[in-house]
Amino acid sequence: MKKAILSILTIFSTFNLFAQSTFEGKIVLRAENGTTKEVSDITWYMKNGQHLLSYVNSGTSSSGNYSLLSKEGKLEMINEKGRIEIPANTLKKPDYDFTAYKLLNKEGNKVVNEFNCIKYTIESGSYVAEVWMADDADLHINHFPEVMQSSLLTVCEKLHQGGIPVQMLVKEKTGKLLTSQTISYILKCGVSDEKFK
């Protein structure tokens, strides 16, 4: 199970300190690891810099339900066996790096899950990312905790300030999918403090 968590977190990058956010609510998204064929349906609760990501994970390498809780600079995995703190040095960085990148294309409006988006195609080394950025969401990249930050999100913020990536695909230039992430919906609402205990 721990291997599955680490492979899913590669889409989000490394763990440092967690960012404070003014957003409070619930985000539902789906992530896929093209290499391991894992698919995760994720419900993400956010309040006052606290984050709870509840995973329903399926795929060839593992399946099952678990949650990740980020609170006060710590990351814990919670499952039926209990709670395990995940040290920062065990989280694997993604194999792809978009620190040096080239913008290949910027396309007009497209609706992705009811969000009006602009698509950016970005190249870095042997990797290509397709990112659909939306302005009409209550959540923005700067609300994401550090565990979800990556060089790709930094590029997205530079290209489309104040927006959010509703859909992100990272592929090899051969077309092989490495990772994908798609937000189904974002709901700005009150979240009980009990979620983060």
pLDDT digits (tens, 9 = 90+) for 130-145: 999 998 777 778 777 7
> What is the structure's pLDDT at 17?
35
Q: Where are the domains of the chain?
A: 2-91+188-196, 102-185
Mean residue pLDDT of the chain comes to: 83
- Segment 187-197 shows an average pLDDT of 94
> What is the structure's pLDDT at 46?
93
- Segment 148-174 shows an average pLDDT of 90
| DSSP class per residue in the chain | -HHHHHHHHTTT----PPPP-S--EEEEEEEEETTTTEEEEEEEEEETTEEEEEEEEESSS--EEEEEEEETTEEEEEETTEEEE--GGGSPPPS---SS-EEEEEEEEEEETTEEEEEEEEEETTEEEEEEEESSSS--GGGS-GGG--HHHHHHHHHSTT-EEEEEEEEETTS-EEEEEEEEEEEE----GGGG-
> What is the structure's pLDDT at 51?
92
Instruction: Give CA–CA dist 7/172, Å, rounded.
Output: 17
> What is the structure's pLDDT at 183?
94
Question: Longest Cα pair distance anywhere in the chain, in angstroms?
Answer: 48
Q: With bands split at pLDDT 50, 70 and 90, how would you rate the model's confidence at 92?
A: low
Instruction: Give CA–CA dist 159/150, Å, rounded.
Output: 14
> What is the structure's pLDDT at 60?
62
Residue 151, strand partner residues: none
What are the tens digits of pLDDT across the range 10-35? 334 333 333 445 789 999 999 999 98
Determine what percent of the chain is predicted with pLDDT higher than 90: 52
- Please check the confidence at residue 152 and state whether its pLDDT lies above 60: yes
